[in-house]
Structure 1
């Protein structure tokens, strides 16, 4: 017996709202120039920096959170830049290209 069946037994009159699945490709990402993906070392530790996004900060923050969860790493969003801990340029570029972004690799 899964959770949905248990909830139906507890609340027989409740009708759950119908949710339309959100397709990732339906999201609108405004971008003129390619996103720059570069590698730096700060205090001896490698980081990956993404910059050059032209859309809303809210969308860029959502993208930062999604990248951090997919890569299982830490990072932050500061000054219109996404900072990811570690050198994940190849994996980040593949994720962004699958979302329809143009990405340019800078450094090394």
Structure 2
């Protein structure tokens, strides 16, 4: 007997809603029309990827920064309305942002 069956036995009146799966896939981050600029730099000899140009709420941009860092398993920070990711992950970041519905523009190489 798995957990779902046990929960059905404990709560027989509860009905599963199918909309929970749909809400998990939708992003709660505000999407903008202008493209987010994704550029590559070297600071102190180490490569970094910088995302800038988001004109929504800073809390949404911070959520996006945290999500990118966890998906890529890298370090980074959020400073001066820019997301700074350690390493050259432009292609992966651009693909993640396009899947979320953002317009992304690659700058610098």
Query: TM bucket by the smaller chain?
Result: 0.7 to 0.9
Detail structure 1 runs of 4+ shifted over 4 Å in the superposition: 1-5
RMSD: 2.5
Q: For 1:15-34, what per-residue CA distance to the aligned partner results, in whole angstroms no more than 9, with x for missing partners?
A: 9xx9x453232524141310
Q: What is the TM-score normalised by the length of structure 2?
A: 0.79
Unpaired runs of 5+ in structure 1?
A: 6-11
The answer for the alignment partner of 1:107 in structure 2 is 108
What is the distance in 1 between the residues matched to 2:89 and 2:56? 23
Structure with the larger helix share: 2
Answer whether contact 2:77 2:85 (CA < 8 A) is retained: yes
What is the distance in 2 between the residues matched to 1:100 and 1:33? 12
Q: What is the TM-score normalised by the length of structure 1?
A: 0.80
Unpaired runs of 5+ in structure 2?
A: none
The answer for the alignment partner of 2:88 in structure 1 is 87
Deviation at 1:42, TM superposition (A): 0.2
